[in-house]
Structure 1
Amino acid sequence: MAGCTDPPAPGVNWQRCNFDGLDLSNVNLSGARLRDGSYFRSILDGADLSGSQSFRAKFINTSLVDSNLSGADLEQADMTKSDLSGADLTNSDLRNARLTRATLRGANLTGARTGGTDFFRADLSGATWTDGQRVCSEGSIGRCN
């Protein structure tokens, strides 16, 4: 059962919990169950969400600057208008995720699975693309140029 009142910790079960508008900067949620959770307008700057199960989570208008999302399951997650500047998304599952108008400046997408991902008007300037080789040029909006 989800422990929505449990403190942030590695492996915590926050499935279907609502944490809208909270400051969760620098928390360690590695391996946590965040599936179907809501983090609307929350601050997760510097947070460790590596290996988290964040399927269909709502990170709308959320600040995830310099966060670690490596190996995270973000399939069908909604990250509309989120700030993922400098985020580590290596080997993450972003299939069918919504990154509409998100900021991914300087993010690392090496090995990320992006089939069906919506990058509409997303800022990918300076991001390392999924092949781990190409760095998106300044002004890369909606796709890596």
Structure 2
Amino acid sequence: MIRVFLLAYFIFLSGKAFAECSDQPTNEVDWTNCNFVESLDLSGVSLANAQMSGVNLALANIEKSQINNANMAFGNFIFTNFNNSNLFASNLQYANCNNANFDNSNLAKVSFEGANLFSSSFKGANLFEVNMTGANITGAIFEEANLSGATWVDGRICALGSIGTCN
């Protein structure tokens, strides 16, 4: 009996409280490894400085939101709508953003290092000084996107004035 109690006690102390996944979307929320299996409507929310490493927000609507300085590394954002959102200086390293919509979003200084951006759309987005080293951009759309100072998938730095393509 004491062994069971001690085991439960140590699991409680070392484990992440699952209740955090039910926390309301707000600045600095900790949704690390939360699995939102239903598509969420988070349009217009502020998630600045949020901890969302490993989160599953596939099919979510996060348009017109403030998500700057958030840690979203290793997250799952398949078909997620970030249209007109501010993700300034957020970390999306190794995130799965397959078919995500980043149209007209501020992505300046975001790290997409190693991310899957397959068929994602960045129309009119600000990608100033973004890091795309090693990212999969197959089928991605960069029409009218500002790529000035971006680190491209092959490590090249895009010239100032690069619009729609890395020059």
Same fold (TM over 0.5): yes
Write the distance in 1 (CA, Å) between the matches of 2:83 and 2:31: 22
Please report the RMSD computed on the Cα atoms of aligned residues, expressed in angstroms: 1.2
The alignment covers a number of residue pairs equal to: 141
Provide the secondary structure at the position in 1 that maps to 2:22: coil
Q: Deviations over 1:109-142 (max 9, x none)?
A: 000000000000000000000012x100000000
- Which residue type is aligned with residue 164 of structure 2? G
Give the corresponding residue for 2:79: 56
Question: 1:23: how far off?
Answer: 0.7
Q: Deviations over 1:57-95 (max 9, x none)?
A: 000001000000000000100110010000000000001
Give the corresponding residue for 2:132: 109
Give the structure-1-normalised TM-score. 0.94
Give the structure-2-normalised TM-score. 0.82
Alignment of 1:28-107 (within 5 A): 28-107=51-130
- Which residue type is aligned with residue 147 of structure 2? L
Question: 1:9: how far off?
Answer: 1.5
Write the distance in 1 (CA, Å) between the matches of 2:125 and 2:93: 18
Give the corresponding residue for 1:121: 144
Which stretches in structure 1 are left out of the alignment for 5+ residues? none
Q: Deviations over 1:88-109 (max 9, x none)?
A: 0000000100110010000000
1:14 paired to 2:30: no
Write the distance in 2 (CA, Å) between the matches of 1:112 and 1:82: 18
Give the corresponding residue for 2:165: 143
Sequence identity, in percent? Answer: 32
- Which residue type is aligned with residue 107 of structure 1? V
Provide the secondary structure at the position in 2 that maps to 1:99: coil
The structure number with the bigger radius of gyration is: 2
| Larger helix proportion of the pair | 2
- Which residue type is aligned with residue 139 of structure 1? G
* Greater relative CO (CA pairs within 8 A, separation 6+): 1
